[in-house]
Amino acid sequence: MATWNSRGLRGSTLEDLINRTNEKYQENGLALIQKIPTPITPIRIDKDERHITLAYFDQKSTVDYIGAVQGLPVCFDAKECAADTFALANIHEHQVTFMENFEKQGGVAFFLLFFSHKNQFYYLPYAHLRYFWDRAKEGGRKSFRYDELNPEYFLPKKQGILVPYLDMIQKDLDTREE
């Protein structure tokens, strides 16, 4: 069974940036996106420091965030990458299945990737993830490279918004209509 310990804080800076962005979007009436906590059962608690030092996950999590953008259901997961190659092992089968079913219900599913060594955010539409996922399932690469990504989905810097992903949702929707 999977357990959580201090390494569970990886990506917390990315999560904080996204949470602050979501707060800004909500303040401006643009979106309502909530962080979905992963249910855990504590095993060991440091009573002096009052924090959990060891726990196990109660169930598999689906995605990190879910909500609505101007009435459109949206779900996404955030991943950080410190290299030019992103291992698909960082994404789980149940997440892909959830996103597939979410899209079948008319929602938009995607990944927000942060290439920390380049200080760049990337919006990975579910359809693009599915291409890489299926390629791996068919015996191909079990990862994708930075240079394989569509340059149109790198998030531009935007004044006052830390992770400006809303424009990419529109781009994602526009390409579906073509």
Residues in binding site for Mg(2+): 62, 64, 77, 95
- The C-alpha atoms of residue 19 and residue 25 are separated, in whole angstroms, by 10
- The C-alpha atoms of residue 7 and residue 55 are separated, in whole angstroms, by 12
Give the residue numbers of the binding site.
Answer: 62, 64, 77, 95
Question: Sign of the CA dihedral 163, 169, 170, 176?
Answer: positive
Burial of 95 (0-12, 13-18, 19+ CB in 10 A): buried
Instruction: Work out the number of other CB atoms within 10 angstroms of the CB of residue 6.
Output: 8
